Structure 1
């Protein structure tokens, strides 16, 4: 310090004085406002308010009207008198049993048909004649003929007509009191091995559709017989069908049961 000049000493004293004043001012400010030394935190977002649940009332139930189905009236079929009735069924080529009653729209009125001699209902063989006993030259009594049993069903109606757009057999089966007889099998077959069965419906109706009109492959003799519980229940009848429209192509046959 001996080497310092007087001017340098004065400058140093002045600097020390200024620093002292600044230090005193800082101490005073800290004394008056100590919060100035508190650390400044980051600004925080205000908390997000939690929404209050709003009670939602369920919608008021409005009753819906349920539509009431009006039953459709069912027409009662009217039975056509057997001797002069005309009938037609809605047929498909592969149909065996057709639902419902045929629509009476045949062009030609069905007329009575002659049939071949019915093949009798099968009967059991008659019992052997009784043997005579005792001596002498007496002769044995003549055998008593066995009566031919009546078939379970008899033909009561046989009608035919000409229609060039179809060939078929159809008809009805009745109980002995004239009511319809469902569930009876009608078997139709020819000498070439073709066979088709139809089952009578609730109204007794049955149908066997041979094809769309006469044709050589459908010509010839056709046989009809009833089956019940798998057993033959009627005499067998036969009809000759033509190759063209020159003969009867539509045949109606009705049977009636002989027993209750």
Structure 2
């Protein structure tokens, strides 16, 4: 089952992590989903695959009225990000999906109409949420050729999709990174293989290092906080990626 944890709250502005499921089937990669709310509206980030929709929907409903969701943000096109889209739209057909323009013609295979999708241009987009402005930050080729992260300047949170992801073994199931050196070994192989461009990686590191970030929240694994945010960015900047180990 999925559970929730509030990771930020300031008045009517809230971030909730819908965290990893220790009881998930072994053949599924584990994922984090995130809910950001402001005022009476909410946005769910990388809402997950169809297989886990009931667990995500149940956990989210315990925190927020799902009928008040304005939409979903899809960092890229992978099924573990958003193959549940048709199920969310069945519940609320008015929801919108923010995704790279590259995938706005592909994601309808998961469900939705032309009106469902709001294509994000390569340079990014400001996404309004009931008075709050969120920023879609370019993260192309990390790992998808059309890829975005979501930055909340007010909360100082960056949702980083697959960047920062770690494939953690049983027993390492904490919400936050507690021991960076022990944790990062579980991220290294993933980043070397799945991140396809050193040039794009350096561009991302330069861009996000200029942001004020308290929490870096990946789609897989634990959340980086405080000094570990810059520690991760510096580690990633130095890591050679796009490597096939033999």
Q: TM-score with structure 2 length normalisation?
A: 0.23
The structure with the greater share of residues assigned to helix is 2
Greater C-alpha radius of gyration: 1
TM-score (ref. length: structure 1) = 0.22
